[in-house]
Structure 1
């Protein structure tokens, strides 16, 4: 029997864990962009996450990234992540795959928007100042004119005019830079608010353990379809449930599958629950247990 090397490679790669990211966001250092997907987190041991992440490119470049954890997920720290993004000039709709090789070491494959893989380092994007001549050429021209004018007895006046013009130019550039920074910060704030994870909160009552009504203002804005199945995950990866979201004329509810979730999570009367819509059809449910009340009988 002839062994198909290509088939064997594909079969072997299917055993490895991987995920992908598309670098099209204006804020490539946002927490959601740096987060590890939930499916990946559930298949990697917590001991692995205690290691530093190492990202290795096809051409041999590598980056070390610290890993942290918030109540919902693990994520990559900004410093190492931003260095990886900058060194590879990402941000033009590149498709990047991260293949786990063990102990948080990842091989990355970077593809352009047209699907072509990048196999050599990219040059970082640079912005060319608006000018008719290069800085060096400008300095040489000024020196030549100055020397020529000095031979004619007008060097002092020309030097003073040039200094004054340079001072004014620097003042204009500083003003424009400050205004540009303010506009960029304002735009970043708008993008951050837009990217905030939609959520709603509910305190569990007895009837809610069988059927849960979704607040009207939430489903009118975020749940477009009348009825569909949502996946609801435990924040620590201890389980996930498929629950039918049923649209009615008067109210939208979680029905089929909800009572099983309430039993297995488990939820109790008085628990304060927060539902975060992390994907179009996926929630993460966090719950805070109600405090037990002490009843004094006289």
Structure 2
């Protein structure tokens, strides 16, 4: 005998209580009438319009597996809107979101050295991990899609956990010209926040030298969980590390009504670029718009 009731038993129990008046004033709305189904037809999760009592747009109703496939969304900062207008589905529609996607997943890339005998990246050791802190524009590292903040796990089958920056740079220098196999975790310290511009084209935060220093009350930035003391790394997937504030503002202004920013805590960013010349980051970093 199971210690816990099944999802279907809980639905039936709530439906019975709702029909017999056994609900209190604070109970969630009753589940709708449950049609007869075979065991194989029962969805793993309730439909979106039933999930935790949320009132979601009608065009989402009838979709199953709410927990597994619920679309990404962002809250706009427009005043005077009803709650139903605050949810704006953007999955698969925002090109910037697709370019900026952070998966935290593991992948393998194969790098070949360039004409100068280099792969075109620098790393930094943090908490016994090795992280990419510079990807040179036009370099082999840029071509295979390495990005600021990627964690290097192994090089040619050798685990680099606990290695120093110099050890990893030495491994790349000593590697063969072709076929350098690198296992990478996608930017574990970073996250993305998708924002909506208001009626005057603002998304609701202030920054100085790339560091977020303030949020506008009730703005899209505040509603969607952007935090101060975080550093802007990308705008719609385009790297903006060491890019002047005015240029970052221009990139945001030129973006569409939906903007995705990639950020990491400022203390981590400061550690990653420590002892690196700002001119190196500004002039050598790959700031191109990524392809998808």
Q: TM-score, normalised by structure 1?
A: 0.19
Larger radius of gyration: 1
- Higher helix fraction (1 or 2): 1
Q: Which has the higher contact order (CA 8 A, sep 6+)?
A: 2
